[in-house]
A and B are shown apart, each in its own frame.
Chain A
Amino acid sequence: MTELKPLVSARGISKSFGGVEVLRNVDLDLMPGEVHALLGENGAGKSTFAKILAGVHRPTRGTIELGGKAVEIGSPIGAQRLGITLIHQEPISFPDLSVAENLVIGQVGGKPLGRVRWAELAKEARRLMGLLNVPIDVTVPMRGLSIADQQMVEIARALASDSRLIIMDEPTAALTPKEVETLFTIVRRLREEGRTIIFISHRLEEVRAICDRVTIFRDGDKIETAETASLTDADIIRRMIGRPVADYLHRGVGHVGAVALSVRGLTLPGRFENISFDVRKGEIVGLGGLVGAGRTDVARAIFGVAPAASGTIEIDGKPAEIREPTDAIARGVAFVSEDRAIAGIFRSLSVETNITAAVPERIAPKGIIRRAVEKALAKESVEKLRIRLATVRQPIGELSGGNQQKAILARWLLAEPDILILDEPTRGIDIGVKAEFYDRIGELAAAGRAILLISSELPELLALSDRILVMSEGKLTADIPRAEASQETIMHAAVPRSGRHTVSGAAA
């Protein structure tokens, strides 16, 4: 590969946000026809670097050469013109427009007041989707598509503009294993066509499966660029976090007590039906399944955000009528939602306000907030969960994703719940912090709490769960004891028996 001219060569790229340097002096060459992984913990600078290439951010210092010529990438449109496309983690699309319309958005040319030739548009869209070999109806609105299909549309858009460099920022975060396979097939084909792909992911097995070379970032520095095959997982992790990490092993079944949460015949038409299961004290019950299988909907029903239409919930053997979250909280149920940005944090409010949000009676016994108590509680949580921040007074939005998630967990730990529902608690969190979360979840179970863990990451489910429930298309399809659980048994139960390859719509 050395005799080839690099497609992109970045030299001395630095970037500061408000005085904080998030990227320092990064040199990187990207070859034509390679899949190049950017690895690093959250906040390591990999996404910032990718966004600089895509014209989202401008570097504070440094130069970028594209095909041997120095270029200035001033805006995402500018990047597009240069043949650089960024595919976002959560596709940014226009949900009410059709797939075909979304495909041509951002394309240059055409008169502002020119007529839209719908038939041609659809034909072109079909051709593009045909290149990817994915059966998506281009006339349906984007809204009805699964996240995976939306990403396929984004990729098709990149093909439409004939991009030379395609940047995929955590493209697999919301995909099922099967969808990941489809994505990889397409990525391989793009590589054969000589395009360069930047692949950002937290999942090492995926990087190993698809990437030729990896570049590892840590704290804004480029640590190393190497052939993927030349590094072991342990090597990569060590470079990412600067210290060795023990593999998280299953902690072993702890002491399991009486039934804490019992759900019988829970049904919400269109979302899930006839869901029945128990969670015992001290037990971690995993809830697996494909995205859109209805797992989150069940959790939301138990917590009272969107109650079930029929069925019963018993807590500690007593029937519980849960119509809103307050009812659930009063009975000792806590719920860490998968959607941290919308259903978790109060972005512009202080960390301490965020941490104490679910325990008003503790910080304000007579209705008047006691600042000292609040601050003490928040500081205690910050220390206990090792939340990294400057001060508990700063807005939580200034923290990294992992630390925001810790703050949300801290909020619920303050409520001292008996039953804890965790929905994708480690999504988008870097490996070091993940391990901390795993330890913490184990401790909570050991302390006698009943835990329902929803996760799309099979290794995570397998490592933590005492028992794994699997949902598929709104139904509970398996209850697998720890000893029999494996990636195969879970996937076997998760994949819908008959019908099409994706369940669209229900992605919560």
Chain B
Amino acid sequence: MNSIDKPTPSTTTPTIVVREAAAPRPRWQVLLIRPETVTLVLLVVATIVASRLSPFFADLGFILESSTYYIEFAIVALVLTLVIISGEIDLSPAAQMALSACLFGTAFKAGLPMPVAIGVSLLAGLVMGAFNGFLVTVLRLPSIIVTIGTLILFRGLAQVLAGDKSIGGFPSWFVGIDYRMVGIVPVPVVVFVAASVLLGLFLGITIYGRQIYQIGTSEIAAIHAGIRVRRIKMGLFIASGLVSSIAGLMVASRLGSVRYDLASGAELTMVLIVMLGGTYIFGGRGSILGTFLAAWLLVIIATGMTVANIAINAQLTVMGLLLIVSIIMTNAIYARSQR
């Protein structure tokens, strides 16, 4: 059989070159439809606007210092990015932070040595993540419902455990992680940057990263291709639990005490960061770079508005608008590219 690719001379018809696939997209378009492009643009705009609003703003040390409030959530958002790309969601990390931190505090108060108390907290993160994972992958329940349930459950358990009082009195070496610097960079920021690089590489160059995208694009196709969908999702939920407990410990260190309402409402901040980073809520698209940029966008806007003396309520309004604008832009660009 001769190839159909060649133009076939024929007496009845003009010669036509077969085109079955569209031409590849130009490079600038490929860049433009990357999910984090909008985030980068917004980040640049926000930085410019903020430096106009206040002369104090354009000080890197100041921004880094103010970032420590958000950076714990941003660290969790990195793992949440993977969960969302895989087509699931985890709304319980903030509650996991609270419960694991309260377990840590209770264990410490009970007289256990610090390393053991920290171990208890990390173990609690693993168990809570595995519990979510079990409900989602073994019982096959929708993760949005499961994690709304566990978010209430974990927060409730934290309150049962710690009551309304805060637990403190941790040794001084543990307290004040945000005041410890590497150069001018606070340690939590170093952790965030390192975690971004590691998870970015994990998602970008390992086979697991690839498979996370494949699962999020089409779970059924992934199952048919022999990808261990349930195992990978289980891993992601466990990772989410573990990173939440680490973030919980960082909050405990920063505040010097723990309470059941630690990181209250932060699950939405985390989802906000991931969404601002261009990750698609239904899975299959997104990047760690986007989440990384979105975290800084959040920091800059919050800090910028604070130095410009904008009330906290107005700040929330701006954040909400920003999310909607970013989603509209990302979707519009993506939809155009698919046409």
- Chain A interface category by residue count: 35 or more
A400 and B225 in contact, given A364-B206, A435-B1 (Cβ under 8 angstroms): no
The answer, among B2, B20, B284, for a CB contact under 8 Å with A348, is B284
B226 touches A343 (CB 8 A): no
**List of A residues within 8 angstroms of B221 by Cβ:** 342-346, 357
A411 touches B225 (CB 8 A): yes
Q: Is B66 an interface residue (CB 8 A)?
A: no
A393 and B16 in contact, given A347-B217, A353-B214 (Cβ under 8 angstroms): no
**List of A residues within 8 angstroms of B18 by Cβ:** 219, 388
**List of A residues within 8 angstroms of B16 by Cβ:** 218-221
**List of A residues within 8 angstroms of B314 by Cβ:** none
B225 touches A358 (CB 8 A): yes
A367 touches B225 (CB 8 A): no
**List of A residues within 8 angstroms of B224 by Cβ:** 303, 305, 325, 335, 337, 343-344
B217 touches A348 (CB 8 A): yes
A242 touches B10 (CB 8 A): yes
**List of B residues within 8 angstroms of A353 by Cβ:** 210, 213-214
**List of A residues within 8 angstroms of B311 by Cβ:** none
CB distance from A58 to the nearest CB of B (A): 13
CB distance from A98 to the nearest CB of B (A): 28
Q: Is A92 an interface residue (CB 8 A)?
A: no
CB distance from B311 to the nearest CB of A (A): 42
CB distance from B241 to the nearest CB of A (A): 23
The answer, among B2, B21, B284, for a CB contact under 8 Å with A403, is B21
A347 touches B226 (CB 8 A): no
**List of A residues within 8 angstroms of B208 by Cβ:** 367
A400 touches B285 (CB 8 A): no
User: A403 CA to B104 CA in the complex, in Å?
Assistant: 57
A223 and B207 in contact, given A325-B223, A347-B218, A400-B20 (Cβ under 8 angstroms): no
- Chain B interface category by residue count: 35 or more
Q: Is A28 an interface residue (CB 8 A)?
A: no
**List of A residues within 8 angstroms of B222 by Cβ:** 346, 357
B13 touches A242 (CB 8 A): yes
How many pairs of A and B residues are in contact by the CB < 8 Å rule?
134
A398 and B206 in contact, given A346-B217, A357-B214, A411-B225 (Cβ under 8 angstroms): no
User: A218 CA to B20 CA in the complex, in Å?
Assistant: 11
A342 touches B1 (CB 8 A): no
Q: Is A209 an interface residue (CB 8 A)?
A: no
Q: Is A508 an interface residue (CB 8 A)?
A: no
**List of B residues within 8 angstroms of A358 by Cβ:** 225-226
Task: Scan residues 156-195 of chain B and give those whose CB is less than 8 A from a CB of chain A.
Answer: none
Task: Scan residues 1-60 of chain B and give those whose CB is less than 8 A from a CB of chain A.
Answer: 1-5, 8, 10, 12-14, 16, 18-25
A325 and B226 in contact, given A223-B12, A344-B221 (Cβ under 8 angstroms): yes
**List of B residues within 8 angstroms of A221 by Cβ:** 13-14, 16
Task: Scan residues 19-70 of chain A and give those whose CB is less than 8 A from a CB of chain B.
Answer: 19-20, 43
B207 touches A363 (CB 8 A): yes
Q: Is B220 an interface residue (CB 8 A)?
A: yes
User: A363 CA to B211 CA in the complex, in Å?
Assistant: 12
CB distance from A16 to the nearest CB of B (A): 11
User: A343 CA to B19 CA in the complex, in Å?
Assistant: 26
Q: Is A4 an interface residue (CB 8 A)?
A: no
B225 touches A398 (CB 8 A): no
CB distance from B288 to the nearest CB of A (A): 16
Q: Is A349 an interface residue (CB 8 A)?
A: yes
B24 touches A390 (CB 8 A): yes
Q: Is B228 an interface residue (CB 8 A)?
A: yes
Residue of B whose beta carbon sits closest to that of A388: B20
Q: Is A380 an interface residue (CB 8 A)?
A: no
Q: Is B110 an interface residue (CB 8 A)?
A: no
B223 touches A348 (CB 8 A): no
Q: Is A399 an interface residue (CB 8 A)?
A: yes
**List of A residues within 8 angstroms of B13 by Cβ:** 218, 221, 223, 242
**List of B residues within 8 angstroms of A400 by Cβ:** 20-21
A342 touches B218 (CB 8 A): yes
B20 touches A346 (CB 8 A): no
A326 touches B19 (CB 8 A): no
A18 and B22 in contact, given A242-B13, A342-B218, A369-B205 (Cβ under 8 angstroms): yes
A390 touches B21 (CB 8 A): yes
B214 touches A349 (CB 8 A): yes
A interface with B by C-beta (< 8 Å): 17-20, 43, 218-221, 223-224, 239, 241-243, 245, 303, 305, 324-326, 328-329, 335, 337, 342-349, 353, 357-358, 360, 363-364, 367-369, 386, 388-391, 393-394, 398-400, 403, 411, 432, 435-436, 439
A-B contact pairs, 30 of them (CB 8 A): A18-B339, A19-B22, A19-B23, A20-B19, A20-B23, A220-B16, A221-B16, A224-B12, A243-B8, A245-B1, A305-B223, A324-B228, A325-B224, A325-B225, A326-B228, A335-B224, A342-B220, A343-B220, A343-B223, A346-B214, A346-B284, A357-B221, A358-B225, A360-B227, A364-B207, A368-B205, A386-B5, A389-B21, A390-B21, A436-B1
Apart from A219-B18, A223-B13, A411-B225, what 9 extra A-B contacts exist at CB < 8 Å? A326-B228, A343-B223, A345-B218, A360-B210, A363-B207, A386-B3, A389-B21, A390-B24, A394-B25
